[in-house]
A = this chain, B = another copy of it.
């Protein structure tokens, strides 16, 4: 094992002693991210202030053969920022400078520790905002959003983080500072920004991010529709999208999720609903008004028994309050829960929800469903009580079975939370050996020593010199992949 004490001395000299943490109690603060299921205390934590300091830390790690993991606000839900026990955790929380708001270019340039919502706050006076809005947007960092390709309720219309990043400064896994892209879209050469966003720290660390700013919409209209069954709410969702309307958001909650939200924040949703949809439209007034009538009619046609239209921002906020508090609210009706994140084709919603319910019943576990219905991004909350023996295991089984269902229906093992540590085991269920080998080739191109966030995304990492499996049956013997 490398000499961590020597590394700590070196980094203290380089960064200043206040920016290097070695005290065991303090280190423990960083033992997990938002997925508290996994806990690892890092060997060392550093808090760099500049990109050059991040580069210096990475170079020192490479020289010492020590793995390193970057962490923003630590709100991730897949263990992507889980520390390495023998490694350095590079926390970007002190890199919070908004470098530039450039409304004429519709761009903002920020450091990775900048909080998601702060970008919007800085852009709003200019008539712009930053569109990707994870539920954690009041606390999550742009650097973490880049690593995990974070989504949010409004990604149905506006796309994920990857659709909003046009430029990056990164520290590559060898410690070099590189620039990828810039302010323009689609520069020549390979699109390495696309590959980097969502690479969960395995291709390096973002130290500056250039993002698109989106014009504030002229109008926002929000409705809440209550349905007597989940099938009808699902059919309404398909009908809305099928009509060519792309709402800013279509969110669904089932009866159990509604119950939890009511218990927590008394949001006053219509009584007796098996499912509610929150549909939000934004854009030019003329467009929004016309489409709003269309959406209302489609909800009615598909059996909505009550439709409420937000009269003002206050009522709109109330509609969203129930939805946004749903995860935390589940604590009111269950001591423990797992938040799952999977994707299915929108058209399969009713069928998959039925099968989730069957699996849950089979194992005697309750599942509350809260999700981005418009893009088929499920967030089932699997409830359990850790105090009752065997419940945690049963919940884990149901949670895994839900992911299997997502794959079976042609969906994905993650919609917006990332693979991280938690879902690496599912990757071979979704990707074949050739697919994983190709990703591994790219990983090794950036990180041949496998020091940059090792153990995340890939289930069974090979060393980079090893011959990929597919080479074994190479039709042209003598030709090595490397």
Instruction: Give A residues with C-beta under 8 Å from B.
Output: 59, 62-63, 104-105, 127, 149, 159-160, 162, 172, 174-180, 182-195, 197-199, 203, 215, 218, 242, 244, 283-287, 289-291, 343, 345, 347, 375, 410-414, 418-419, 423, 427, 430-432, 434-436, 438-439, 441-446, 448-449, 457, 470, 474-476, 479-482
Q: Tell me which residues across on chain B come within 8 A of A448, comparing CB atoms.
A: 480-482
A191, B184: Cβ atoms under 8 Å? no
Question: A412 CA to B190 CA in the complex, in Å?
Answer: 14
B283, A188: Cβ atoms under 8 Å? no
Q: Tell me which residues across on chain B come within 8 A of A427, comparing CB atoms.
A: 188-189
Query: Taking the nearest CB of chain B, how far is it from the CB of A311, in angstroms?
Result: 21
A286 nearest in chain B by CB position: B290
A186 nearest in chain B by CB position: B160
Query: Taking the nearest CB of chain B, how far is it from the CB of A95, in angstroms?
Result: 21
Question: Which 8 residue pairs spanning A and B have beta carbons closest together?
Answer: A194-B194, A287-B287, A286-B290, A441-B445, A63-B476, A445-B445, A215-B244, A286-B286
**Candidates B149, B188, B284; contact of A423 at CB < 8 Å:** B188
A375 nearest in chain B by CB position: B185
**Candidates B104, B444, B470; contact of A176 at CB < 8 Å:** B470
Question: A482 CA to B172 CA in the complex, in Å?
Answer: 14
Question: A430 CA to B435 CA in the complex, in Å?
Answer: 32
A149 nearest in chain B by CB position: B186
Query: Taking the nearest CB of chain B, how far is it from the CB of A79, in angstroms?
Result: 14
Question: A188 CA to B430 CA in the complex, in Å?
Answer: 9
Q: Tell me which residues across on chain B come within 8 A of A105, comparing CB atoms.
A: 345, 347
Q: Could you list 5 A-B pairs, sorted by A, with CB under 8 Å?
A: A174-B474, A182-B410, A191-B198, A286-B286, A449-B479
Given known contacts A188-B430, A284-B287, A449-B479, is B474 in contact with A178 (CB within 8 Å)? no
Q: Tell me which residues across on chain B come within 8 A of A436, comparing CB atoms.
A: 189
Q: Tell me which residues across on chain B come within 8 A of A291, comparing CB atoms.
A: 284, 286
Q: Tell me which residues across on chain B come within 8 A of A190, comparing CB atoms.
A: 195, 198-199, 203, 439, 442-443
B290, A175: Cβ atoms under 8 Å? no
Query: Taking the nearest CB of chain B, how far is it from the CB of A445, in angstroms?
Result: 4
Query: Taking the nearest CB of chain B, how far is it from the CB of A423, in angstroms?
Result: 7
B175, A475: Cβ atoms under 8 Å? yes
A174 nearest in chain B by CB position: B481
Query: Taking the nearest CB of chain B, how far is it from the CB of A55, in angstroms?
Result: 9
- Of the listed residues A343, A423, A432, the one surrounded by the most CB atoms of chain B closer than 10 A to its CB is A343
Given known contacts A178-B434, A188-B419, A419-B189, is B441 in contact with A446 (CB within 8 Å)? yes
A65 nearest in chain B by CB position: B479
B188, A412: Cβ atoms under 8 Å? yes
Q: Tell me which residues across on chain B come within 8 A of A187, comparing CB atoms.
A: 412, 430
Q: Tell me which residues across on chain B come within 8 A of A345, comparing CB atoms.
A: 105, 183-184
A426 nearest in chain B by CB position: B188
A183, B410: Cβ atoms under 8 Å? yes
Q: Tell me which residues across on chain B come within 8 A of A62, comparing CB atoms.
A: 476, 479
A184, B419: Cβ atoms under 8 Å? no
Query: Taking the nearest CB of chain B, how far is it from the CB of A193, in angstroms?
Result: 8
Given known contacts A189-B457, A476-B175, is B347 in contact with A104 (CB within 8 Å)? yes
Question: A329 CA to B427 CA in the complex, in Å?
Answer: 54
A441 nearest in chain B by CB position: B445
B476, A438: Cβ atoms under 8 Å? no
A214 nearest in chain B by CB position: B244
B176, A434: Cβ atoms under 8 Å? yes
List 20 other contacts, CB 8 Å, given A149-B186, A176-B470, A191-B191. Answer: A63-B476, A160-B185, A162-B191, A162-B194, A174-B479, A175-B476, A182-B410, A184-B411, A188-B413, A188-B418, A188-B419, A188-B427, A189-B439, A192-B195, A192-B442, A194-B194, A195-B442, A215-B244, A218-B244, A449-B479
Question: A107 CA to B285 CA in the complex, in Å?
Answer: 30
Q: Tell me which residues across on chain B come within 8 A of A446, comparing CB atoms.
A: 438, 441
A430 nearest in chain B by CB position: B188
A191, B194: Cβ atoms under 8 Å? yes
